[in-house]
Amino acid sequence: MTYCLGILLEDGLVMASDSRTNAGVDQIATVSKLSTFATPGERVITVLSAGNLATTQAVISSLRHAWGNGDPHRDLTLATSLFDATQKIGDCLRDVLAREASFVHPYGDPSASFLVGGQIAGEAPRLFQIYSAGNFMEASERTPFLQIGETKYGKPILDRLLRHDTGLPEAAKLTLLSFDATMRSNLSVGAPIDLLLYARDTLEARRLRSFDEGDPYLAGLRQGYAAGLTSLVAALPTPDM
């Protein structure tokens, strides 16, 4: 399984993914599910991947191969908006599935989904979710975050605390707490967590950090949250019954 989270904020975007891939409990590996395509000063496109690893890697490889090659259907340097870029990625997913799905079906599920977040000069930052069918929907102020993969364990803390006007550093912290909740409750989601902070209008993807299992900040955050939550709940009254 996988957990990927994209957040659309007034100040920019947070894009994050875990790194565990598994086909059964005895075939576990660490892969990157966060891919960045950028021309500094002009466009930043971040893609988070969930689902069949062969499918997602085929899509990402095709996009890397086409970057700057002038192919009107694949080249993300030609995308005139993030909507246009997302449509190209969705079309690429459809092409990969058209080629692979019938061969994969006897063995498993070939489907995949993506979160696409970024900014192209002339637009505000935008965030999209591409479904397995290749169609997609966009985040808005009212729905400031999108998730794919193992989404439920990490949703309550976001529902409670995340808002469209949350600052980037605060949103990064909430993202790591959301991943921590997911990793504690589900073995198939695992570190390192890849986290990209994108500040609106910077048009570069430099604030990227990978948090591994022993990362001191992550360890301190977990410990502080666990201790604080224990005290918080202990201080609340018990029901009279």
Tokens of 173: 């912290």
x/- site string to a second copy, residues 165 to 184, per CB under 8 A?
----xx-xxx-xx---xx-x
Under the binding rule (CB under 8 A), the answer on residue 187 touching a second copy is no
The identity of residue 232, as a single letter, is L
CB 239 to a second copy: min, Å: 5
* Residues between 74 and 113 with contacts to a second copy, criterion CB under 8 A: none
Closest CA to 2 of 180, 183, 132, 215: 183
CB 164 to a second copy: min, Å: 16
> How many other β-carbons are positioned within 10 Å of the β-carbon of residue 163?
12
Tokens of 49: 């991947």
Under the binding rule (CB under 8 A), the answer on residue 230 touching a second copy is yes
| Residue 135 region by backbone torsions, left for phi larger than 0, else alpha for psi between -120 and 50, else beta | beta
CB 241 to a second copy: min, Å: 5
Under the binding rule (CB under 8 A), the answer on residue 221 touching a second copy is yes
What is the rounded CA–CA span in Å between residue 214 and residue 89? 34
Interacting residues toward a second copy by CB under 8 A: 152-157, 159-161, 169-170, 172-174, 176-177, 181-182, 184-185, 195, 197, 207-209, 211, 217, 220-221, 224-226, 228-230, 232-241
